[in-house]
Amino acid sequence: MAKLRAMLIAVFVTAAACLAVFLIVYLSGGLESIDETKEAKSTTAAPTKPVETTTEEAKSEEWAAEIAEADRLAAMYDYDAAIALIQTIPGYDRSVKLTQAIGGYASARDTCVKWADNTKIPHIFFHTLVVDTELAFDGDEDSDNYNQVMTTVSEFNEILTEMYERGFVLVSIYDIASLQETEEGVKMKQNAIMLPPGKKPFILSQDDVSYYAYMTGDGYAQKLVIGEGGKVVNEYVNRDGSVSYGSYDMIPLLDDFIDEHPDFSYRGAKGIIALTGYEGVLGYRTSEYSYGANSTQNKDFKYVNPDIESDRAEAKKVADALKADGWLFACHGWGHRGMGKNQSYENFEKDIDLWYDEVIPIIGPCDILIYPKGDDIGTWRMYTDTAEGHQYPETLAKYEHADSLGFKYYCNVDSSEYWTQIGAQYVRTGRRNIDGTRLFEAVCGYRDLLSDLIDAKKVWDSARPQPVKGVPVPEGYVID
């Protein structure tokens, strides 16, 4: 009996143990299933949140080019373009890095304010820059002129630095105003220039970017060419006759500065390149009238250019590259002759038509006219103001002809801080020269017309001869 009782107890204990194991396994599995169900429900219900993962870190390398370009666009105040670029990246809305970038661009955009008055924007200009001061200012018949109207490379670089430190930002002349639909039809209307507080817009242009033959050997660049990576650079002939390629004039120097300081350019704006036509453009002898086989002008220029067609093709390549990089072109007259009250309509028409025929095929459509020598076709009043005595006798006829060729932006020379006129169908700005004359006026104490832009004494290149011809020197100023 005792044996039977012991056997029953053993069976009972074993069965109980098995049941316990079964329940533990069963309950463990059930709880796990419940947890998984809860987790699934929680994942489905929670909003999507960007999560930084190892995968995203790897993808960031793939996005590096897009992010770098977006950062550059934002630095140039084109925040919407920066945001749009980031939004082209698949899955950007699930990335912490990309959504934070968009938020940063949007926040920066929201701090910008509209420039109050687009008629109050300075427009400065230069001629070809002096590279070698010893050659330019060597005392020959051209030295005085160079010293008056040219700027050295050293001075130009210092001017950019000074203006950048003062908060100036380069804008396009098109940012001032453009033709837009209004209730009264298509008219010029001011555009909104949105900049951070403290920033100030300005416009930049350069005259006579043709690299004239008379300047050869005087310490200037010879032409513009397409260099490595498609960048437009200068060709420069050294004293020993060797040829160098690099930044020897305004265009590549400004490009270099903006590459280093993208916030100096508003939405990619560059400058305006004013071209004459009588010796060709951009350093290429492209004028049929001057250099063609049947030219009647060869007695003046001494030779026929046998490579005129290849020169035109190369010049067009350079022009296309410049336009793609944000540069604009302007007519500066074919023969660099005045266009104002002392020029007849017939001569004005002949000159501007010849420029149009020879230069437009190389640079493409052009709507900017920069008056040679600053010689405006009209007075300060509206070109269309025909009241007696308000304009020169042929102003309206000249304006109507220029308008028929497509010109909508006109630029003279004016020493005021800024001068801009917005007509119904055109914009006119006054340009300020920063050259040897203006710099020396400030340096010697005669007058300072540049103080709102730069410290002329800091900019002045000590390699320049003093005094600069034509500048009255105050009593007591000591010539270095």
Q: Which tens digits make up the pLDDT trace of 99-154?
A: 999 999 999 999 999 999 999 999 999 999 999 999 999 999 999 999 999 999 99
101 and 132, same domain (yes or no): no
Confidence (pLDDT) at 297: 64
Do the domain assignments include residue 466?
no
> Are residue 352 and residue 386 in the same domain, yes or no?
yes
- In this structure, is residue 37 part of a structural domain? no
Question: Would you call 297 helix, strand, or coil by DSSP?
Answer: coil
From CA 266, how far away is CA 168, in angstroms rounded? Answer: 10
pLDDT of residue 434: 98
Residue 197 CA to residue 113 CA, distance in Å, equals: 6
Model pLDDT, residue 296:
67
Range list of β-strands (E), 243-400: 243-246, 272-275, 328-331, 368-370
- Domain count within the chain: 2
**pLDDT given at position 72:** 98
Report whether the peptide linkage leading into residue 201 is cis, meaning its omega lies within 30 degrees of zero.
no
Are both 104 and 160 inside the same structural domain? no
Which single residue is written with the structure tokens 């000074």?
A: 162
Locate 36 and state its tokens.
């998984």
Q: How far apart are CA 419 and CA 441, in angstroms?
A: 21
pLDDT band at residue 73, thresholds of 50, 70 and 90? very high
255 Cβ neighbours under 8 A, 6+ residues apart: 231, 232, 247, 270, 325
Does 103 share its domain with 62?
yes
| Domain, as residue range, for 100 | 54-111
**263 domain residue, yes or no:** yes
Instruction: Answer yes or no: is 282 within a domain.
Output: yes
- Asked if pLDDT for residue 348 goes beyond 80, the answer is yes
Give which of 188, 224, 163 is closest to 432, Cα–Cα.
163
Residue 469, domain member (yes or no): no
Residue 59 has pLDDT above 80, yes or no: no
Are 103 and 167 in the same domain?
no
Same domain? 387 vs 445? yes
Residues 281 and 425 occupy one common structural domain: yes
**Residues 98 and 160 reside in one and the same domain:** no
Same domain? For 103 and 234 the reply is: no
Same domain, 94 and 159: no
Across the strands, what pairs with 226?
A: 232
Mean pLDDT of 171-199: 97
User: Which pLDDT tens digit goes with each residue over 13-24?
Assistant: 444 444 444 433
**CA 386 to CA 455: how far, in whole Å?**
42
What mean pLDDT, rounded, does the chain reach? 89
pLDDT at 54: 52
Q: What is the pLDDT of residue 304?
A: 87
- Give the residue, 302 or 371, on which the prediction is more confident: 371
Given 111, 136, 154, which residue is the final one in a domain?
Answer: 111
Q: If you average pLDDT over residues 450-457, what whole number do you get?
A: 98
pLDDT of 9 above 70: no
Sequence-ordered list of residues with C-beta below 8 angstroms from that of 372, at least 6 positions apart, any chain: 276, 332, 333, 336, 337, 338, 339
Q: How far apart are CA 306 and CA 283, in angstroms?
A: 15
Closest CA to 371 of 346, 417, 340: 340
Same-domain check for residues 60 and 177: no
SS3 182: strand
pTM of the model: 0.87
Same-domain pairing of 83 and 184:
no
Tokens of 9: 């107890």
